[in-house]
């Protein structure tokens, strides 16, 4: 790598994005303070105040009540708590409620708990089809519910897809779920801060999010759950967080998380406009250099920072490493599946072949992305695709 190439071009913000300075400041302000937020002495009360003020900040940003914010270790725990906790509660109330409906393109943080419930918890899981853009077939959902509504324990539909960026028809799903009195969970990990998200206005019953996708620290997230929603705990202990998520709260991380959400929501409109324009420029540039590249996902209703391509004749892993050697970092899809030699379940559900799915890369932009980052990718992608195609032959 030459001196001119030592700068890293980071195009994997959907996996994790750099912490915002405001979040770093909020977090570090409390790192040297002692006090368990469950303790009754002055230090404990001070830590509790940090947690509760952060909870109020998160609630204001997401348009929910503070008591509806349950802090977790991140999006995966929040998804597990929603899917398993609501299923167990609903099943306990009525043993007939064994069905869980979800899209076939959910993140593995939802799909894997569903698989576990199907094999270990007596659940019947139905993964609903999507169209070629990765958008839920709402008619298929309606047909599935109507077939036996009393047996449905839960519906889980992500707000935005983490791989191809497609926004799901959450409002249509809310309408159907409400008509039948079925709780609806949405994984909004990719959506918060990128598109408008209001818990109260959306009508969902539970919503998952995490800090490190929107400029906050790793290891902290939340499940926003209506107070009226019954959720069985995954972790038992001290009874923290409404007695559905025991464990000592991390005040510094929670403070950084709250600061990041507050900033991301405040700047969402400007962020979407700037990053969306960068994304469009990236798409045009890549398509001009590699005309047979295929842009995956919805044309309009998609995350502003997402550009997901298939490059015919390439192996995505090989192309990723060629770009990485030039200081350009991207992804073949979900970082949680990195290193697993299997085609993307999202692309397969969208009707792509194994070869098409394996030829794909995701470029995701974020709050630190620049025109120079886009230019560097456009300069590099042509030669890298050519080399990847030669290698695959």
Six token digits for residue 287: 């398509």
pLDDT tens figures, 162-196: 999 999 999 999 999 999 999 999 999 999 999 99
Neighbouring-strand partners of residue 295: 309
pLDDT of residue 339: 56
Q: What percent of the chain has pLDDT over 90?
A: 94
Contacts of 305 (CB under 8 A, 6+ apart): 13, 14, 165, 194, 275, 276, 278, 279, 364, 365, 366, 369
User: Could you state, in order of their start, the residue ranges of all structural domains in the chain?
Assistant: 3-19+268-392, 21-266
How far apart (Å, rounded) are the C-alpha atoms in residues 341 and 87? 32
How far apart (Å, rounded) are the C-alpha atoms in residues 129 and 268? 30
pLDDT of residue 341: 60
Six token digits for residue 241: 């967080």
Mean pLDDT of 55-70: 98
pLDDT tens figures, 130-159: 999 999 999 999 999 999 999 999 999 999
Whether 314 sits among the annotated catalytic residues: the reply is no
Contact 213, 185 (CB under 8 A): no
> Per CATH, which fold does 3-19+268-392 belong to?
3.90.1150
In this prediction the pTM is 0.95
Catalytic residue among 64, 314, 330, 336: 336
Res. 349 pLDDT band, cuts 50 70 90:
very high
CATH number (3.30.1490.100, 3.40.640.10, 3.40.190.10, 3.30.465.10) of 21-266 reads 3.40.640.10
pLDDT of residue 3: 42
Whether residue 125 has pLDDT greater than 80: yes
Cα pseudo-dihedral 24, 216, 241, 68, rounded to 10: 120
| DSSP states along 289-356 | HSTT-EEES-SSSB-TTEEEEE-TT--HHHHHHHHHHTTEE-BSS-GGGTT--S--HHHHHTT--HHH
Helices (H), the chain: 21-28, 42-62, 75-93, 108-120, 138-147, 170-180, 199-202, 251-266, 268-289, 316-325, 345-349, 354-358, 371-392
């Amino acid at each position: 790598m030459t001196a001119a190439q030592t700068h890293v071009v980071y195009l994997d913000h959907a996996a994790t994005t750099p912490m915002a300075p405001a979040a770093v400041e909020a977090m570090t302000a409390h790192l040297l303070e002692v006090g368990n937020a469950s303790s009754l002495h002055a230090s404990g009360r001070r830590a509790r105040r940090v947690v509760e003020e952060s909870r109020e900040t998160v609630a204001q940003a997401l348009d929910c009540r503070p008591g509806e914010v349950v802090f977790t270790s991140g999006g995966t725990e929040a998804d597990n708590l929603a899917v398993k906790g609501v299923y167990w509660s609903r099943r306990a109330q009525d043993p007939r409620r064994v069905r869980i409906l979800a899209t076939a393109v959910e993140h593995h943080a939802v799909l894997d708990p569903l698989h576990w419930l199907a094999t270990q918890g007596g659940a019947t899981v139905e993964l609903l089809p999507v169209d070629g853009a990765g958008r839920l077939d709402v008619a298929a959902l309606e047909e599935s519910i109507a077939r036996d509504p009393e047996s449905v324990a839960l519906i889980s539909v992500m707000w935005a897809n983490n791989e191809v960026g497609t926004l799901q028809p959450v409002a249509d799903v809310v309408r159907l779920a409400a008509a039948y009195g079925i709780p609806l969970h949405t994984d909004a990990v990719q959506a918060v801060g990128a598109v408008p998200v209001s818990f109260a206005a959306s009508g969902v019953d539970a919503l998952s999010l995490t800090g490190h996708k929107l400029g906050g620290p790793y290891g902290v997230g939340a499940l926003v759950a209506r107070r009226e929603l019954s959720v069985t705990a995954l972790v038992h202990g001290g009874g923290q967080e409404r007695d559905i998520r025991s464990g000592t709260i991390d005040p510094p991380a929670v403070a950084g998380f709250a600061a990041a959400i507050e900033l991301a929501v405040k700047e969402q409109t400007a962020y979407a406009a700037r990053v969306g324009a960068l994304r469009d420029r990236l798409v045009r540039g890549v398509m001009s250099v590699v005309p047979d590249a295929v842009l995956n996902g919805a044309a309009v209703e998609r995350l502003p920072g997402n550009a997901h391509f298939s490059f015919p004749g390439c192996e995505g892993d090989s192309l990723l490493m060629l770009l990485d050697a030039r200081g350009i970092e991207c992804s073949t899809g979900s970082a949680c599946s990195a290193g697993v030699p299997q085609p993307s379940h999202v692309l397969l559900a969208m009707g792509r072949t194994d070869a098409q799915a394996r030829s794909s890369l995701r470029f995701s932009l974020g709050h630190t992305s620049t025109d120079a980052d886009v230019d560097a990718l456009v300069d590099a992608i042509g030669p890298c695709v050519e080399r990847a195609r030669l290698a695959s032959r």
